Structure 1
Amino acid sequence: MNAVLVSLLVNFATLLILGAVLYAAPSPLLNPKAVPFGVRVPPDKADSPEVGEQRRRYRALLAPIAVVITLASLVLGAVLNSAVVGAVAALLLCAAAGALWLSAHRALARAKEQGNWYEHVRQGAVMDTSLRTDPVRLPWLWVVPSLVVLAATAAAGAFAYPDLPATMSLPERTTNGTAYRDVTTTFWSAFSLVFVQLGVTVTVLGTVAAVLRARPDLDVSRPRTSVAQHRRYLALTARALLGVGALLNLMLLGLSGMMWGDSRSGTVLSLVVGVPLLVAVVGSLLVVLRAAPSGGRTMIGATPGAEAEENTGLVARDDDRHWRAAGTMYVNSDDPAILVPKRVGMGWTVNVANPRFLIGSGVVLVLGLAATVVSLTVGFG
C-alpha cells in the first residue's frame, strides 16, 4: 500500500469520524438537554417544536455539506498528493457546522424571548458544601501507570544513550506526509520525549485536580440525587483523564524507541501513534455513553424513580447573559469559579473574565515569550 493511498484513507477516516461527531452534536447525549444549541430553556421546553425544528434543520444541512467536503477532499488529495488538503477539509467542515450551530442558537434565543418561556416558572440555584468539605479524592492508583511508563522510558533511554549515533532521526508532519529530520544527539535531544512525558503527567494531574474542585452543574429540581450522580461522574472522569495520560506516555515511549533505534518504518510509526490514540478515543466514547451531561439522559449511577421522589419545583436560572459565542464562552467577572460546566459538549470550560484566570494566563504568556527569546538568543549566539 503506497503512501498516497494511506494518506487518503487516513483523511477519509478522519473526516468520517469528524462528520459523525458534528452531526450528533445537538443530541442530549453530548450536551445538557436543557441547553439546546447553547440556549438555556426551561425543562418543559427542551423537547419543544422549536428545538426539534432547529435540530432537524442543522442535520439536514450539515449532512450534504459533509459529503461534498469529504468527496472533494479525496479527489484533491489524490490529485495534489498533499496532506494539507485533509486538514483544510476538516477546518471547512468545522466552520460549516459552527455557522449552522450559530444560526440555530440565534433562532432559539429569539423564540425564547418572543414566547416568554421563563415567565411562569420558578427559577433557583443550588449548592452542596460537602463537595468542598468532603471532595472527591484524586484516584492516585490511576496515576501509577503514567509514572511506570515514564520511569521505563527514562531507564531505557539511560541504557541506550551511551551507544546512540552522532545524529538521530525525528519524524515530523509535512505537506506531503511524514518526513524525518536528523538532529544532533545530545542529552536534551535524546531525552526530549521523556521531558514531554513528564509535562504530560504533570498537566493531566493538574487538570484532574482542577476538575475535582470545579463548580458542579447540579439539577435544582433534584439536588440530592444530582449531587450523588455528580460525585460518580467526577470519579469516572478523573480515572478516564489519567488513563488517557498513561496512553499518551505509552505513545511517547514508542516514539522514543523509534528515535533511539533510528527506525523510519511508516508501519511502526502508525502503530505507535495510532493504537494508543484509538484506545483513548474508544475509552472517551465509553465515558460519554456511561455519563451524559446534567439535564440530559440519566447519568451513571442514577436510581430509577429518584427524580419522581425528589422534585423542588424549581428550574435553573436563565443565565444566557453570561455566555458568548453561541454558548461556548463563559464571561462573568462576578463569579469566583474558574472552571464551570460546559454548555456545549461534556466537561468544563474556563470563566474568561475571572481575575485569577486572567492573571494566570498572563504569567504563562510572559514565561512562554521569555523562553522563546532565550532560545532564539542562545541559538543565534
Structure 2
Amino acid sequence: MSPDLISLVTSASMALVTLLSGCLIAATPWLTRGREAFAVSVPETAQADPRIRRMRRAYLACTLAVSAASAVAALTLWSANPLAMAAVVCAPVAAGFLLMLAFRARVMAIKRSEGWGTRSARLSTVAGAAEANAPRPLPLAWDLLYLPVILATLALSLALYPAMPDPVPVHFDAAGVADGYMAKGWQVVAMPTAVQAFMALCLTASHWQILRSRRPSSPEHPVASAIAYGMFARAQSAALLVTGIVITVSIAIMPLAFAGVVTSDQSFVALIVIIIAAILPNLAVSLVYGQAGSRLLRRMTASSELGFDDDERWRLGLFYVNREDPSVVVPRRFGIGWAMNWGNPKSWGLAALLVAAIAAFVVLVEVLFR
C-alpha cells in the first residue's frame, strides 16, 4: 500500500470509529430502561410525555451533529495534527454528557411539578423460578480462551526473533518514522505477551463485574425484567469476550512489526480496522437489547406508578453512591453497561487495586523494556 492510501484508510477508519461511537451515544435515551429518563427515575408512562420526547429528539439531533462534525474533523486532522484529532474524537462523549446533565435537570423539574414519587426507596420483587432459571452471563472459565492466544503470540515472537534487527524499532511517530528502539533481547519477545496478559486480566476483571452485578428487577414486571436482564447480561459477556479476543489477537501485530513483516503504517491501519471490529459486537448488543434488556420489555403495558426511586443515590446521573447497598457493581442509570457503587468501600479497594496494577505495569515496562 502506498503511504497516501495508508493515510487515507487510517483517517477514514478513525472518522468511522468516531461516528459509530457518537451514534451509540445519541441513541442512549432510547436504550435506557423505561423507568428512567436522562438518569431520573420516572413512571414508565412518562416516556410518552411530550416534553421528555422533545428532549430525547433534541439530544439525538445535537449529539449526531457533534458526532458528524467530529468525524469530518478526524478525517481532515489525522495527518495534519494527530493530537488535535484525538481531542476531536472525544467531543461526542463530552457533548453527550453535558446534554445529559442539562436535560436531567429539566426532567427533575418536571418530576417535581408532576408529583412523580414513591413512598419507599426500594420495593422488593420476587421473580420466583423465572429469575432462578433466567439466562446467566458466560462463566468466568471462558476467559481461559485468552491463554492460547497469548501462547500463540509467544510462539510467533520466538519464530520471528532471528529476523528482527538490532536494535529493534518499537515506537514510531505520526509520519511512521521509527523514533524509539530497544536492544534485541528477551524483552522483545516478552513485551507482546506481557501486554496481552495485562489486557486479558483487565478484560477478565470486567467480566467478573458483570457476574457480580446486582440483578435489577422491575416492580411492575418482575419475571419479565429478570429474564430480559439475564439475556442482556449474557449477550454483553459474550460481546466482551469477542472484543477481548480480537484485542489480544491484534497485539500479535507487534512481533510482525518488530521483524519488518509489516510496516508501521500497515500495522496501524490493521489496528484501526480491528478496533472497528471490536466495537461492532458491543454496538449490536446495545441496539438489540438496550440497557439491562430494556428493549425486550418495550411491548409491555407501561405503568403509571413509580415504585422505585433512588435519584439521590446517583451523582451527576453517572456515579452511584449508596452505603446501604451491599452491591459493588450495579447497572448504569444512563448508558450501556455497569457502574461501581462508590458508597461501598470494596469499590474503592478495587479501584485502588486497578490503579496499582496499571502503575506497576507501566513501571515494569519502563524498567525491563527500555
TM-score, structure 2 normalization:
0.83
> 8 Å contact 1:123–1:315 — kept in the other structure?
no
1:337 equivalent in structure 2? 327
Query: What secondary structure sits across from 2:147 in the alignment?
Result: helix
Q: Which of 22, 30, 49 is equivalent to 2:25?
A: 22
Partners in 2 of 1:186 and 1:169 — Cα distance?
Answer: 13
What RMSD over aligned residues (CA atoms) do the two structures have, in Å?
A: 3.7
Distance change >3 Å, CA 212–CA 140, structure 1 → 2: closer
Q: Is residue 2:310 matched to residue 1:319?
A: yes
Q: Is the 1:32–1:293 Cα contact (8 Å) retained in structure 2? A: yes
Q: How many residues align?
A: 365
Partner deviation per Cα, 1:48-91 (whole Å, 9 max, x = no partner): 1121121123234444445555555656x28x811123222223
Q: Does 1:290 align with 2:298?
A: no
Distance in structure 2 (CA, Å) of the matches to 1:97 and 1:244: 24
Alpha-carbon separation, structure 2, partners of 1:195 and 1:370: 12
Partner of 1:284, secondary structure, is helix
2:47 aligned partner: 46
CA shift in 2, pair 1:211/1:370, >3 Å: closer
Map of 1:180-259 to 2, 5 A cutoff? 180=178, 181-259=180-258
Aligned partner of 1:352: which letter? W
Shift of 1:19: 3.4
Instruction: Pick from 12, 17, 23 the counterpart of residue 15 of structure 2.
Output: 12
Deviations 1:182-233 (A, max 9, x none): 2212212322111111222233223223311210121221222222333333
Task: Give yes or no for the alignment of 1:355 onto 2:345.
Answer: yes
Q: SS of the residue aligned with 1:349?
A: strand
**Alignment partners' CA distance in 2, 1:99 and 1:317:** 26
Give the whole-Å Cα distance in 2 for the aligned partners of 1:137 and 1:58. 32
Structure 2 contact 313–321 (Cα < 8 Å) conserved? yes
How much has 1:140 moved relative to structure 2? 6.2
Rate the CA distance shift 1:137–1:343 in 2: closer, same or farther, 3 A. Answer: closer
Q: Secondary structure at the match of 2:251?
A: helix
Cα contact 1:146–1:201 (8 A) shared by 2: yes
Post-superposition CA distance 1:219-273 (Å, at most 9, x none): 22122222233333332222221121111111011233222346425234412x1
Amino acid at match of 1:115: E
1:167 aligns with 2:167: yes
Q: Is the 8 A contact 1:122 1:315 kept in 2?
A: no
Q: How far apart are 1:321 and its partner, in Å?
A: 0.3
Identity %: 22
Does 258-267 or 61-70 show the bigger shift?
61-70
Cα distance in 2 for partners of 1:257, 1:83 equals 24
Deviation at 1:150, TM superposition (A): 1.4
- TM superposition outliers: structure 1 runs of 4+ over 6 Å: 119-123, 128-135, 311-314, 370-380
Q: Which amino acid aligns with 2:274?
A: P
Deviation at 1:363, TM superposition (A): 4.3
SS at match of 1:46: helix
Query: Match of 2:294, SS?
Result: coil
- How many Å apart are 1:171 and its aligned residue? 4.1
Partner of 1:155: 155
**Deviation, structure 1 residue 144:** 5.2
Taking a change above 3 Å as real, the CA distance of residues 203 and 376 of structure 1, as seen in their structure-2 partners, is closer
Give the direction of change, closer, same or farther, for the CA distance of 1:137–1:372 in structure 2 (3 Å limit). Answer: closer
Q: Give 3-state SS (helix, strand or coil) of 1:169's partner.
A: strand
Whether contact under 8 Å (2:330, 2:341) holds in the other structure is: yes
Residues 65 and 157 from structure 1, CA distance in 2 versus in 1: closer, same or farther, beyond 3 angstroms? closer
Shift of 1:346: 1.7
C-alpha distance in structure 2 between counterparts of 1:14 and 1:114, whole Å: 41
Distance 1:225 1:351, change over 3 A: same
- Measured in 1, the distance between the counterparts of 2:142 and 2:306 equals 37
Q: Deviations over 1:304-348 (max 9, x none)?
A: 8xx57xx999744110000012x1111112211110010112221
1:5, distance to aligned residue in structure 2 (A): 3.9
